[in-house]
A and B are shown apart, each in its own frame.
Chain A
């Protein structure tokens, strides 16, 4: 399969809090991709910045032939990306990685996102709602402006709980009862987390106690994105002992019980 695509940017808007929302026309990609997978984007031509930047899908809209990402400006690459005007062509590899293993028969799932890490969970929630699966959402961020996807989720009938550093509600100790209550909702069959290792550890503990399979989408500095260069290592437990897997190709979604969350 050829994973090289030229995307045409149709929208690239500042959403405040350092976040941008980029929509691009890429019909093949939109049809092939699944929630939890990502695109590996050349943010600018030339050799500075030199490497691609990986972005999980925020929304997949095959009917419109479009893919959407939500990103935070953190360095040179994302800064240059934020300057791109609609109509610009983008060189991207994708869809890459293993997506979320959404159970087609799940009655309900839980999503737990922090900051920009919420982005891939929105694509997952949309797919869940489309198959009739209920979604419970707990979203965490520095402040209310940095919560993403809450209105979209609400429009799909998802009950969203938000916690923030600013209101002093986002500490894992305070999230714990909220998360426990959400996991205890009848029919919760799977749980998914992204954006915080602390929240991932919390979810792993609470989900394991309830026998609910839990998955996290991980982040690591990435090279090729295709599993060839072995730089985006993630430490995992296996029956033979601890080893490294590739975030790009074995993940980015891993069962939480498998990963070593340092």
Chain B
């Protein structure tokens, strides 16, 4: 960006949308002012300025943009957000927020982890645990500039669009850092970038304990801007559990997270991505996964909370024999909107991808799924499957789904499907005829439906713990009978 002084005029937009955009610009400028005297941050400042300019050029997406038609941003504009305040003088954020270990209890699995706890995006050493299990093969950097230097927009663009094994043949656009309205949350992540978390695992190292990355949000009207990068060396293996939760049910927050996962030859990474934000909060999340030959990526996303959430994942199978599994479990209720999107690009031969995305939608909830499998010309013998199944539990619940295939190779086995419906009345009656109450039958059937995407979690006690947590949450289902009667 050489012409950084030239300020683009904003596209036309509603006053509250404009207010939020300008508030974000001010946040970005404040970071830059703070950093202007720091030579180590010179590059970062330039990147923030460039990203702010990009946001200015694209503005916000509207319903006229295909990828945003079902995921309007209006609820986000109803609030004003500023970057979450960070503690001064290396104070532990848990002390500032007045948190003790008790706050962690609901989020602690019944097995040992290496636990990294963040409060409003800032690392809390006092709440973290199991750090003694970190050895030389595992590096965890929470520092700034160096760790995030490599995460540029042009890098991310490589994940988008069908490739012919080398470069984008189907959409002949060279990767660039040109702004796009589809990347509006990427631009925001970049312009508000401050701290980054980088986790590296050395080649051949198998990490026995899962890593637990717990993001706790406490502040009201706060934007928590997260940038995380995972790098696994060849034949390294690790699993991690992301958790995103609000400690104050009344505080409204916005978590904007960008994750990158880089898997070298034969590396194996398993992620469980759990979000249980409160009903006021927002989550925008982008995950970019880059897979070398014979690497394995497994992601189980559990979307249980947030007023509005959009989780987009790009998986690039760049090396032969790579394997990716992406499953979603989404429970959408009240006024929630939950959007899950995957773009899986098969760029090399003999790769496998499996996807099962299940939504249960009740009340006036809205679910959105958009999945795309792209197969490049060179990706012969691709085996790609994507399934989206949705259960609608009330007449006002809504699901918009769009599974897509784009195939340029001729010897592949790919399938995609989706089905949305209600619980079969015969199933409920069958249970009732065995003495099981209507609501209990609904809960039993719903839970069984919803748990299927988790079955492939290999870690038994993790899977069981997630099951139990979900069962407890589904106690909220008995309002259904009432709901059904009201709508009848």
Co-assembled chains A and B: no
Which residues of A does B touch, CB under 8 Å?
none
